[in-house]
Amino acid sequence: MQKKYRAGLMWFRRDLRARDNAALHHALKACKQVFCVFVFDRDILDALPRFDRRVEFIHGSVLSLDAQLQRLGAANGKPQAGLIVVHGHAGDAVPRLADELAVDAVFANHDDEPQSLARDAAVQAALESRGVAFHSFKDHVIFERQEILTLAGKPYTVFTPYKNAWLRKVDGFYLKPYPVERYGAALTAVPDEQRAIPSLAELGFEKTNLSALKIPTGSEGGERLFEEFKGRMANYKVARDFPAVKGPSYLGVHLRFGTMSIRHMAATALSAEQLGSEGAATWLSELIWRDFYAQILSNFPHAVHSAFKPEYDAIKWESGAGADALFLAWCEGRTGYPLVDAAMAQINQTGYMHNRLRMVTASFLVKDLGIDWRRGERYFAEKLNDFDLSANNGGWQWAASTGCDAQPYFRIFNPVSQSEKFDADGSFIRRYVPALAKLPAATIHSPWLAAPLELAAAGVVMGKDYPWPIVQHDEARALTLQRYAVVKKA
């Protein structure tokens, strides 16, 4: 088969795997020689703290990707293949490397976050000025951008009809893996001077508790998690709601950084659903939500900074020193509501938060404390291992009732009833709020109502060992309804 290009450069970003990778497949198929690069982009990294689990996860996954490329090369008689790793500014590094390697084209997978689109446009312009082509491909979702439109030719803004359209359209073509291995002979040797991969310390970061949390990196780690989850998938519909139960897939970080193929996951879930698994159907819906929010971000970029529904920007949020103190109490898990505080302890200690608790804590910040959803969104963006702009923004706007297909503004999570329903015996609370560990299940959800003897027996002094509630839910609910009155006819 005649190849279009003499040499190409595969630029990995949020797709840290060799298997079933769209851009890598197209690069190998189109070029006689393919170099591979990953850039630890200082435009992103320089703003992060030295202890960041995501950087450690990426670093481990980059090492894994290098090993995968070496194996793929060795299997095709190219034992010196591997990954070039650069620590610098991607906008400069990629065109410079394209020059140094004298490639004819650069290949990458789409990244529709606004900052990434601006970066890619600048890189493409720099490459084209050198006579180098830039090609990018869909890889991070099943359907993107405007692949699924309403009968009126517009993007969907309500999930259920989007999901129905998604399910009608999906078939084997969209879920078929890219046969990367078939074209592995196009991989070429990494130049000797670029073979070394910088250590985490050389990047300016330090080890976190990632390994203690048993968060596996790379495709191998993702595959192990997925294999384990497949054994639990049938129970997902019920188990996913209880934070003390092993219900979720825990694959969010692998989806975020592309160490696992979304096509492989969706195909597995769809097959199980077709065999009657309600758990698989529910998990597939979560994957479709991910596509839904990705196309919302692509088609409505104003939602990154503003309410999806512009009229909701008229809401007056709490501000000033008092609001700052309430926000800090929420961040530090000192609200006096045990389930909220346990959830915030979980994200602060692990970089993960159970999906139901993401809704509960977001609702509490916005509708109990009256604080702008964007402050909470930014905090989650700093803390979550699996932070993804479209999903994080979509989730926060859903909770704040400012987004597409959002929770109605008058539906406000009661943090006590949520606790009683989804952590009935208090197991999750006891794990993350040890000060309350000895309280019985009947009172652990609202310790301020416990009898003095119960508190004494549990070794809890309210206001000392555990804070009094910083807000009364019923009063806060009434204020929220007033606050949202400016848009109640929207």
- DSSP per position, 303-334: GGTS-SSGGGGG-----SHHHHHHHHHHHTT-
Residues 42 and 71 in one domain: yes
Q: For the segment 309-355, what is each residue's pLDDT rounded down to a tens digit?
A: 999 999 999 999 999 999 999 999 999 999 999 999 999 999 999 99
Residue 423 in domain = yes
Mark whether 385 is an active-site residue. no
Question: For residue 405, is pLDDT > 90?
Answer: no
- Specify whether 76 is catalytic: no
- Work out the average pLDDT over 212-217: 97
Same domain, 122 and 250: no
Euclidean distance between CA atoms 220 and 364, whole angstroms: 38
Q: Is the pLDDT of residue 488 over 80?
A: no
Last residue in a domain, options 124, 139, 154? 139
Residue with tokens 């008058």: 410
C-alpha 303/C-alpha 389 separation (Å) is: 11
Say how many Å lie between the first and final Cα of the chain, rounded.
59
Tell whether 19 and 58 lie within a shared domain. Answer: yes
- Predicted local confidence at residue 447, as pLDDT: 98
DSSP three-state, residue 115: helix
Long-range contact list for 195-200, CB < 8 A, 24+ apart? Answer: 195/82, 195/84, 197/62, 197/63, 197/66, 197/83, 197/85, 198/40, 198/85, 198/87, 200/55, 200/56, 200/59
Q: What is the pLDDT of residue 162?
A: 98
Same domain (yes/no): 263, 336:
no
Find the CATH number of the domain harbouring 151. 1.25.40.80
Question: CB of 333 within 8 A of CB of 342?
Answer: yes
Per-residue pLDDT, averaged over 201-209, amounts to 98
pLDDT in tens, 253-312: 999 999 999 999 999 999 999 999 999 999 999 999 999 999 999 999 999 999 999 999
What is the domain count for the chain?
Answer: 3
196 forms beta bridges with none
- Which residue shows structure tokens 């926060």? 396
Mean pLDDT across 7-24: 98
Structure tokens at 427: 């197991």
Out of 147, 220, 299, 317, pick the active-site residue.
317
Annotated catalytic residue within 220, 286, 382, 420:
286
475 and 366 in a common domain: yes
If one counts every other C-beta atom within 10 angstroms of the C-beta of residue 279, the result is 20
- pLDDT mean across residues, the chain: 97
Residue 167 shares a structural domain with residue 130: no
Give residue 195's pLDDT. 87
pLDDT for 489? 56
The pLDDT value recorded for residue 1 is 72
> Do 412 and 430 reside in the same domain of the chain?
yes
Query: Both 10 and 158 in a single domain?
Result: no
Per-residue pLDDT at 436 exceeds 80: yes
Structural domain containing residue 95: 5-139
| Helix, strand, coil distribution of the chain in percent, nearest 5 | 55, 10, 40
Domain co-membership, 363 together with 290 = no
The verdict on 90 and 157 lying in the same domain is no
Asked whether residue 194 is assigned to any structural domain, the reply reads no
Q: Does the structure show a pLDDT above 80 at 191?
A: yes
202 part of a folded domain:
no
- Average pLDDT (385-397) is 98
Question: Please, which pLDDT band fits residue 407 given cuts at 50, 70 and 90?
Answer: confident
Q: Does a structural domain hold residue 187?
A: no
Q: Which candidate in 330, 373, 392, 398 is catalytic?
A: 373
Q: Which two tokens stand for residue 399?
A: 């909770």
* Element (DSSP H or E) covering residue 414: none
Q: Are 259 and 221 in contact (CB under 8 A)?
A: yes
Residue 286 annotated as catalytic: yes
Residue 415: inside a domain: yes
Q: Do residue 31 and residue 46 come from a single domain?
A: yes
Q: Is residue 209 among the annotated active site residues?
A: no
Q: Is 181 a domain residue?
A: no
- Return the bridge partners of 135, or none: 107
In whole angstroms, what is the distance from residue 36 CA to residue 186 CA?
Answer: 11
Whether residue 468 lies in the annotated active site: no
pLDDT band at 417 (very low <50, low <70, confident <90, very high): very high
| Given the residues 11, 166, 330, 396, the one annotated as active site | 396
* Alpha carbon distance 292, 308 (integer Å): 14
- Among candidate residues 166, 283, 289, 330, the one labeled active-site is 289
pLDDT confidence of 122, banded at 50, 70, 90?
very high
Tokens of 185: 């002979």
- pLDDT tops 70 at residue 383: yes
Q: Residue range 403-426: average pLDDT?
A: 94
List the CATH number of the domain containing 77: 3.40.50.620
Concerning whether 396 is annotated as a catalytic residue, the answer is yes
How large is the average pLDDT for residues 219-224?
98
**In this predicted structure, what is the pLDDT of residue 487?**
86
pLDDT at residue number 406 = 82
Closest residue by Cα to residue 404 from 269, 482, 302:
302
Q: What is the pLDDT of residue 208?
A: 98
**Does residue 208 sit within a domain?**
no
Contact 38, 85 (CB under 8 A): yes
Query: Is residue 111, in this structure, part of any structural domain at all?
Result: yes
Q: Catalytic residue, from 76, 235, 348, 355: name it.
A: 355
pTM: 0.96
Domain boundary pick from 254, 278, 299: 299
Q: What is the mean pLDDT of residues 127-153?
A: 98
> Within this chain, do residues 270 and 314 fall inside the same structural domain, yes or no?
no
Cβ–Cβ < 8 Å for 418, 360: yes
Boundary of a domain, candidates 238, 265, 299: 299
Burial of 3 (0-12, 13-18, 19+ CB in 10 A): middle
